[in-house]
Copies of this chain bind each other. A is one copy, B any other.
Amino acid sequence: MKIQRAERTRVGLVQMRCGGSPKENLSKAIAGIREAARRGAEIVCLPELFLTPYFCQSEDYRWFRAAEPVPGPTTTALAAEARRRKIVLVASLFEKRTRGIYHNTAALLDADGRLLGKFRKMHIPDDPLYYEKFYFTPGDLGFRAWPTRRGAIGVLVCWDQWYPEAARLTALLGAELIFYPTAIGWHPAEKGKVGAAQHDAWELIQRSHAVANGCFVAAVNRVGLERPAGGDGIEFWGQSFLADPSGRVLARASASKEEVLVAEVDYAKVEEARTHWPFLRDRRIDAYGGLTQRFLDGVGEAGSLSRRGAR
């Protein structure tokens, strides 16, 4: 099969609230997909785990019942949309792999409805109200990129976005457009003091992946306050965006509203960025071995930092 690689495409980022009913969330997601397609989007991405509230706010065994196989009922429903609208779809799902093994998984459906593959979230957070290590086994499929009918696409999920290693490996696999389905927000009590800085850092790190790798980056977040475990909950900060290979934000959704953001991707910009700022040419692959270490405490003079007992 000959891959049709358009030089330009349009992405649709479905920023949505996710309520208590998976059925209603799926309907809303499909409505968003259809709106995006009507407005010319050829690749559509949904937020992280869009079928449910962000249940990782507590450790509750009941939520495992919300998981499903991938492929499974949701990918089947979405594949019909992908085929009918001739669009590529990125869908983040709670995958039940077998009894006792669950993943935070993104499925990639090509524009003919075929399941191209899946990415299982590699970096799993565990912080107050983001108790993901309880639910998700870390991904074991490695980093991924796929040739789709709308370009070479990679997918990473939320916490992965803080890791330059993840974006780099995805780009080295060929991705020219990286999607980040996301569920990130403010702790309401902290928002006033550190909310702006937290959001800035989040947008910044993802834009930096675009710069470092000369690729497009799209982040798709949910929006609105959710309190599935009571308490103050999380106020998801929306602000889904698309950045070009120079790190410029081409389009950004609001912080408080559901919104289907549609924006153009011109793959010629990848060629241009990588030609004019040829970072990939000069990587010192002979000197990067230490990246597979947790910390280099035993190496060189810096090792003496801890040995000398500073602090």
A residues contacting B by CB (< 8 A) are 1-3, 5, 116-117, 122-125, 127, 138, 142-147, 152, 154, 159, 162-166, 168-169, 172-175, 197-198, 200-201, 204-205, 207-208, 211-212, 246-248, 276-280, 282-297, 299-306, 308-311
Nearest Cβ distance between residue A96 and chain B, in whole angstroms?
Answer: 22
Q: A282–B160 Cα gap in the complex (Å)?
A: 10
Chain A to chain B: the 9 pairs with minimum beta-carbon distance, closest first: A208-B208, A164-B164, A174-B302, A145-B302, A173-B302, A5-B310, A174-B305, A147-B305, A172-B296
Q: A284–B162 Cα gap in the complex (Å)?
A: 12
| B208 near A282: Cβ-Cβ < 8 Å | no
Q: A3–B307 Cα gap in the complex (Å)?
A: 10
Q: A289–B205 Cα gap in the complex (Å)?
A: 22
6 A–B contacts from the bound complex (CB under 8 Å): A1-B308, A5-B310, A123-B284, A147-B302, A162-B211, A197-B248
Which B residues touch A197, using CB under 8 A? 246, 248
Of the candidates B3, B162, B293, the one whose C-beta lies within 8 Å of that of A285 is B293
Which B residues touch A289, using CB under 8 A? 292
| A291 near B200: Cβ-Cβ < 8 Å | no
Q: A159–B123 Cα gap in the complex (Å)?
A: 29
Q: Which residue of B lies closest to A267 (CB)?
A: B311
Nearest Cβ distance between residue A70 and chain B, in whole angstroms?
Answer: 16
Identical copies of this chain, number: 2
Q: A283–B198 Cα gap in the complex (Å)?
A: 20
Q: A290–B171 Cα gap in the complex (Å)?
A: 11
Which B residues touch A168, using CB under 8 A? 164-165, 291
| B279 near A310: Cβ-Cβ < 8 Å | no
Which B residues touch A294, using CB under 8 A? 280, 283, 285
Which B residues touch A159, using CB under 8 A? 282
Q: A43–B279 Cα gap in the complex (Å)?
A: 30
Nearest Cβ distance between residue A293 and chain B, in whole angstroms?
Answer: 6
Q: A175–B144 Cα gap in the complex (Å)?
A: 31
Of the candidates B123, B173, B204, the one whose C-beta lies within 8 Å of that of A207 is B204
Which B residues touch A174, using CB under 8 A? 296-297, 302-303, 305-306
Q: A117-B301, A308-B3 are in contact. Are A143 and B287 (CB under 8 A)?
A: yes
Nearest Cβ distance between residue A278 and chain B, in whole angstroms?
Answer: 7
Besides A5-B311, A127-B276, A143-B290, 7 more A-B contacts (Cβ < 8 Å) are A5-B310, A147-B302, A147-B310, A163-B212, A172-B290, A208-B208, A289-B292
| A173 near B300: Cβ-Cβ < 8 Å | yes
Of the candidates B175, B247, B291, the one whose C-beta lies within 8 Å of that of A302 is B175
Which B residues touch A138, using CB under 8 A? 284
Nearest Cβ distance between residue A187 and chain B, in whole angstroms?
Answer: 11
| B162 near A279: Cβ-Cβ < 8 Å | yes
Nearest Cβ distance between residue A260 and chain B, in whole angstroms?
Answer: 27
| A116 near B301: Cβ-Cβ < 8 Å | yes
